[in-house]
Structure 1
Amino acid sequence: MIEVNIDGASAGNPGPSGAGIFIKDNGKVEKHAIPLGVMDNHEAEFIACRKALEICLEKHADTVWLKSDSQAVVHAIEKEFVRNIQYKQLLDDILDLTKQVDLFFVKWIPSKENKAADELARKAIHLN
């Protein structure tokens, strides 16, 4: 099982944004700080999720446990619905990716439990 913590961050709304992805795979740790350009925080969160799933699929993951402090992303995945049409295509992409793994779990966690991904997202902002 691959455990993934994700976070998206923006310096402004919209503003320079970044994705932080922290992966634990059989004791190995990977850290990704990905600059995303200018967007709002919610879009950065959804893109961080999509990118994390793409990385997991590149690793041929069969089980993914994704954790995020974004209630918007977690609820959208759980309900397979997003109210804001701006994020619909991103959610559709995410749902398509989740169907490519045998088992997919998503969990909301408080921000204090997501510090590693948050630090990576904030680092990515400065890489823009």
Structure 2
Amino acid sequence: MCYCYRRWPEIRVHVLWECGAAQDVWAGCLVRIQKIPNGQSDNFQLFGDLMDKLTRPEFEFFLVQAWFIWNQRNIVIHGGSFKEPGWLNKRATEFLEEFHQTQVQLSISTPLSPRSSWQPPPASVYKVNFDAAIFSNLNCSGFGAAMSVKGLLVTCSEEAEVLACRKALEFLVDAGFSNVIIEGDNENVMRAVSSSSRNHSWLGNIYEDVKWLMRGMQVVSVNSVKKGGNEVANVLARHAKNVVDEMFWIEDSPPPAVKALYHDSINIQ
């Protein structure tokens, strides 16, 4: 039963919307949210009604406030007490403003003049370089970054590069890296990845996947580099021709790329 009001089952729609403790919070927020009636069967119906009747900023506010209500219930269950509803509404507004400001501060840019040699990242920041190679005789492609993997059949170099970028970001997420610099040697791909506008090309869905993965990380910058500054990733991409399954080297120098790594190390400025 509901931890705050023992008369009702503690289902999700009750916790976030119908519980008296939640209603005290909603009563002090946006008028349009207050007008949404009770009686929804579940959260899916509640969210559907809200999405139909609220603007996007209003729905974003609802989601943030619902998160605060859920968080506050956990605090109460573990011995704490509810914050005053007015404080929760004020904090939700501030939280959403902070989030939007952060997105502006984390906006990314592509340098106009790509570098010709690889450079190490600043302290506490990781860099991922990726590249793609197309093996027309095998009807497949290879992706190289911190990994080397034989990929799918692709139709052009741009498709191969953006798929390689997505694979590199998936690796970063799985490995737990968040504070990163992303580098590739296809200027068009890097420009599209760093753009804040939606990509409407036939590869748009893949670009949106890339941006969605980036939103979960602290991306310092997205850079375009020349082939000479991306040689390790290039070597790994070409090595994928000989690979059947995914291969990972963690903390070790990938044997196929040792020569390229040495070249990078002696050219660091």
Which residue is equivalent to 2:158? Answer: 42
- The count of residues paired between Structure 1 and Structure 2 equals 118
| Partner Cα separation in structure 1 for residue 136 and residue 191 of structure 2 | 24
Structure of greater relative contact order (alpha carbons < 8 Å, 6+ residues apart):
1
Of residues 184, 191, 195, the one that matches 1:68 is: 184
Residue from 186, 189, 201 that aligns with 1:84: 201
TM-score (norm 1): 0.81
- Paired with 2:181 and 2:206, the residues of 1 have a C-alpha distance of 19
Alpha-carbon offset, residue 16 of structure 1: 2.1
Counterpart CA distance in 2 for 1:36 and 1:103 is 25
**1:90, CA displacement in angstroms?**
0.7
Cα offset, 1:109, TM superposition: 0.3
Q: 1:2 aligns with which of 126, 134, 153?
A: 126
1:19-49 deviations in whole A, cap 9, x for unaligned?
0013xxxxxxxxx111013213221211111
SS in 2 for 1:38: coil
1:123 corresponds to which of 234, 239, 245: 239
User: Is contact 2:199-2:208 (8 Å) kept?
Assistant: no
Which piece of structure 1 moves more, 61-70 or 38-47? Answer: 38-47
CA displacement at 1:57 relative to structure 2: 1.2
TM-score (norm 2): 0.41
Q: Structure 2 stretches of 5 or more lacking a match?
A: 1-124, 245-269
Q: 1:14: Cα distance to partner?
A: 9.8
Whichever structure has more strand as a proportion of its residues is: 1
Larger radius of gyration: 2
Q: Structure 1: 5+ residue runs without aligned partners?
A: 23-31
Percentage of identical aligned residues: 26
* Residue 13 of structure 1, CA deviation: 9.8
Q: Give the aligned partner of residue 21 of structure 1.
A: 145
